[in-house]
Amino acid sequence: MRIALFVTCVNDLVFPGTGRAVVRLLERLGHRVDFPPEQTCCGQMHANSGYRAEALPLVRGFVAAFDRYDVVVAPSGSCVAMVRDGYPRLAEGDPALHAAVTALAPRTLELSELLVDVLGATDVGATFPHRVAYHPTCHGLRMLRLGDRPRRLLASVRGLDLVELAEPEQCCGFGGTFALKNSAVSGAMLADKCADAVASGAEYLAAADNSCLAHIGGGLARRPGAPRPIHYAEILAGPEEDR
């Protein structure tokens, strides 16, 4: 099985540790991971902001980079949802591209889908002796229907005490450009999410999307004693030895 890592542009630049964690984790489980160097960005920000014409070249780029792989894995529910839910719609009107994306979309998986559904692993052999709350980010929750996969993976980590948020499914208020265009409303939603995270008593707030985590983490950083944001791939992968 040829597994390609789609690291996503946000992780590539701002959260490379998450990409390294995915590589470390999959290699530990005995799989080879490829990083196709042609990859850039999925175009979600363009598409969701209404810039279809600007998103389309990025759709084509994604297909060119990943078409030859059996499975594409990304540590981002939101970017995978863009490919699976958004690409077929964006490609309407270009039959060849549409055929390519509808073939590639089902093979593009969020990390927990690859681990649980394809590799059949819920215990990945990790240890993380901390209290962790999991925030199911909206696109993973409602577009990919990740369900309890990430929680099952976390619950199998040795030493990890998984606690629940009071309202886990409430959006954190990020919403891409929403956080800038409607920053006041976004900030109010963030305040609720941060209060929930603090009240959970967790040391870490885990999620499957670093974009949402950057938003929540940016709010938590201003609250003393708040949990630290962490991508759940980094918990599953364990600490980096060579750094």
Partner 1 sequence: MTGTGRITAALPFPVAARRQLADGQLRDNLRRATRTIRDRRARTVAQVPDWEALRAAGTAIKDDVLGRLPELLEQFEAAAGAAGAQVHWARDAAEACAVVTDLVRATGADEVVKVKSMATQEIGLNEALAAAGISAVETDLAELIVQLAGDTPSHILVPAIHYNRRQIRDILAAGLPAADAARLTDDPAVLAEVARYRLRQRFLTARVAVCGANFAVAETGSLVVVESEGNGRMCLTLPETLICVVGVEKVVPTFTDLEVFLQLLPASATGERMNPYTSVWTGVRPGDGPRSVHVVLLDNGRSDTLADRVGRQALRCIRCSACLNVCPVYEQVGGHAYGSTYPGPIGAILSPQLTGPDGGANRTLPYASTLCGACYDVCPVRINIPEVLVHLRQVGVDARRDRPSPERAALRAMSWVMRDRRRYRAALRAARRGAAPLRRVGGRRGGVRRLPWPLSAWTTARDAPLPPGQTFGEWWAGRNPEAHR
Q: Rule CB under 8 A: which residues touch partner 1?
A: 7, 9, 11-17, 19-20, 35, 37-41, 43, 45-52, 54-55, 57-58, 60-61, 89, 138-139, 141-143, 169-171, 173-191, 214-215, 217-219, 221-222, 228
Fill in the amino acid letter for 225.
Answer: G
131 close to 198: Cβ distance less than 8 angstroms? no
* DSSP string across 26-94: HHHTT--EE--TT-----HHHHHTT-HHHHHHHHHHHHHHHTT-SEEEES-HHHHHIIIIIHHHHTTT-
- Which one, 101 or 179, has the nearer CB to partner 1? 179
In the complex with partner 1, which residue's Cβ is closer, 44 or 157?
44
CB of 176 to partner 1, least distance (A): 8
Nearest approach in angstroms of CB 184 to partner 1 is 5
Shortest Å distance, C-beta 41 to partner 1: 5
User: What are the Cα distances from residue 26, in Å, to 73, 136, 205?
Assistant: 10, 22, 23
Task: Give whichever of 57 and 158 is closer to partner 1, judged by the CB atom.
Answer: 57
Give CA separation, 19 vs 25, 75, 111, 231, in Å.
10, 7, 11, 10
102 vs 127 by CB, closer to partner 1: 102
Task: Tell which phi-psi region holds residue 207, choosing left (phi > 0), alpha (psi between -120 and 50) or beta.
Answer: beta
Q: Which is nearer to partner 1, 35 or 131 (CB)?
A: 35
Min dist CB 120 to partner 1, Å, is: 27
Minimum separation from the CB atom of position 192 to partner 1 (A): 8
